[in-house]
A = this chain, B = another copy of it.
Amino acid sequence: MHFNQPLRLRSGAELPAYTLVYETYGSLNARRSNAVLVCHALNASHHVAGTHAGKPHSEGWWDNLVGPGKPLDTNRFFVIGINNLGSCFGSTGPMHINPATGRVWGADFPVVTVEDWVDAQARLVERLGITQLAAVIGGSLGGMQALAWSIRYPQRLRHCIAVASAPNLSAQNIAFNEVARRAITTDPDFHGGHFYDHGAVPRRGLRVARMIGHITYLSDDSMEAKFGRELRSTALAYDTQSVDFQIESYLRYQGDKFSEYFDANTYLLITRALDYFDPARDHGGDLSRAFAVARDLAFTVISFTTDWRFSPARSREIVKALVDNHIRVDYAEIDAPHGHDAFLLEDARYHALLRARFARLARTLDSEG
- Point out residues on A near B: beta carbons under 8 Å: 10-13, 107, 110-111, 168-172, 174-176, 178-179, 181-183, 185-188, 193, 204, 207-208, 211-212, 215, 218, 220, 223-224, 226-229, 236, 238-241, 244-245, 247-248, 251-252, 255, 265, 268-269, 271-272, 275-276, 278, 308
Contact = CB atoms under 8 A, between A and B. Distances in A.
Given A178-B251, A208-B186, A248-B178, A226 B268 contact: no
B215 A175 contact: yes
Given A183-B208, A224-B171, A241 B268 contact: yes
B229 A278 contact: yes
A178 B211 contact: yes
B182 A223 contact: no
Contacts of A170: 220, 223-224, 228-229
Nearest to A271: B240
9 contacts: A107-B241, A111-B238, A170-B229, A175-B247, A178-B248, A179-B212, A185-B241, A240-B269, A245-B275
Contact of A204 (B176, B186, B218): B186
A251 B175 contact: yes
A219 B208 CA distance: 22
Given A207-B182, A208-B208, A223 B272 contact: no
Given A179-B251, A204-B186, A215-B176, A171 B227 contact: yes
**Interface of chain A, helix or strand or loop or mixed?**
helix
Contacts of A181: 240-241
A290 to B, nearest CB: 15
Contacts of A211: 175, 178-179, 182
A13 B10 CA distance: 61
Given A175-B211, A183-B183, 18 more contacts: A10-B238, A111-B238, A170-B228, A171-B223, A171-B245, A172-B215, A175-B223, A175-B247, A178-B251, A179-B211, A179-B251, A181-B241, A186-B207, A220-B308, A240-B268, A240-B272, A244-B275, A245-B275
Contacts of A176: 215
Nearest to A204: B186
Contacts of A226: 171
Contacts of A204: 186-187
A195 to B, nearest CB: 14
B229 A174 contact: yes
B268 A169 contact: no
A357 B324 CA distance: 51
Contacts of A223: 170-172, 175
A251 B175 CA distance: 7
A227 B173 CA distance: 12
A135 B229 CA distance: 30
A116 B228 CA distance: 24
B212 A247 contact: no
Nearest to A281: B229
Contacts of A175: 211, 215, 223, 247-248, 251
A182 B209 CA distance: 11
A111 B229 contact: no
Contacts of A172: 215, 218, 220, 223-224
